[in-house]
Amino acid sequence: MHKYVLVPIIFLFLCGRGESQAEKSSIKSENKVETRILDDSAMFLTTALELAPGARSPLKHDDLDQVIVVVSGQVSIGGRQSSAPAVLSDGEVWFSKKTLDSVISNETEAVAKIVSVGIKKHWDTEVRACSEPKKCTHPIQIGGGEIGHTTLLFTSGFITAYRHDLVSGGTLSSSYFSSRGKDYLMLLPLTNVHANFDGQDEDLQIGQAYSSEAAQVEVSAAKEPARWIMLRVEAPKP
């Protein structure tokens, strides 16, 4: 259940957990591909990748299903022998099974930045992308006015991905609770956002992955509109 409020713009300068994680992580460069660990938590292993123009690299799964999020630029993902790879741009998301032998490449003249989220639990269920005739995008409204949108990208019943956007000054409050088991969340900002996880404030920068097991999450846009991806993993009770 979601409730939506429009709030005054507040500037908060807090030290985010994700930033400290990034500061401690190592950077590896190979074949014009730079990688950095962003998050290694109970459910997620999250890596940032920067691909220089012309860069091409195997998509390393580490025996985990992967959710690929394009933070900026454009990349192509396909099998080693594929003649028609998927082309993903800013804000687009791709689910890759751990058994796939895929290659990611940057065929453009600009640096591409992506975040790869490994899911540490595997379920043998089909991941279904949302498409017509199903209505995938729903407005976020307050007082009859529209302040943003929530778009369902895909779901397997266990792993679900949403893309959210808000106008400047807007806030989206979400309740994550499952009677079936435990929820694990991964927020991936596509712009700078302010977020609150069960009362804990975080200022998150573009591409700064943040994992949480919070039941209540509030995300706000300040001067500029905000966009982010939310991954929700619902792990059933044993």
Q: For 80-93, what is each residue's pLDDT tens digit? A: 665 688 999 999 99
Same domain, 162 and 132: yes
Give the sheet arrangement for strand 44-51, strand by strand. 27-30, 33-40, 44-51, 112-119, 65-72, 93-96
Determine contact, residues 58/102, Cβ cutoff 8 Å. yes
Q: What single-letter DSSP state applies at residue 191?
A: S
At residue 172 the predicted structure's pLDDT band, cuts being 50, 70 and 90, is very high
- Of 31 and 142, the structure prediction assigns the larger pLDDT to 142
Find the domain containing 95 and state its range: 24-119
Length of the chain as a residue count: 238
Same domain, 7 and 39: no
Q: Say which residues have a Cβ less than 8 Å from residue 192's Cβ, sequence separation at least 6.
A: 203, 204, 205, 206, 222, 224, 226
Same domain, 100 and 183: no
Question: What average pLDDT does range 111-124 have in this prediction?
Answer: 95
Q: Has residue 142 got a pLDDT over 90?
A: no
Same domain, 80 and 38: yes
Helix H or strand E encompassing 221: none
The CATH number assigned to the domain holding 166 equals 2.60.120.10
Question: What average pLDDT does range 158-171 have in this prediction?
Answer: 96
What pTM was estimated for this model as a whole?
Answer: 0.84
One-letter amino acid at 99 equals T
Q: Tokens in use for 56?
A: 């091409």
Q: Has residue 174 got a pLDDT over 70?
A: yes
Tell me the H-state helices in the chain: 17-24
Choosing from 119, 145, 163, the residue where a domain stops is 119
**From CA 215, how far away is CA 203, in angstroms rounded?**
19
pLDDT, averaged across the chain: 86
Same domain, 13 and 29: no
Determine contact, residues 232/184, Cβ cutoff 8 Å. yes
Same domain, 91 and 187: no
Choosing from 119, 146, 178, the residue where a domain stops is 119
Same domain, 91 and 135: no
Domains identified in the chain, total number: 2
**From CA 87, how far away is CA 106, in angstroms rounded?**
10
Question: What average pLDDT does range 170-186 have in this prediction?
Answer: 90
At residue 99 the predicted structure's pLDDT band, cuts being 50, 70 and 90, is confident
Same domain, 133 and 84: no
pLDDT of residue 161: 97
Q: Has residue 151 got a pLDDT over 90?
A: yes
Q: What is the CA radius of gyration of the chain?
A: 18
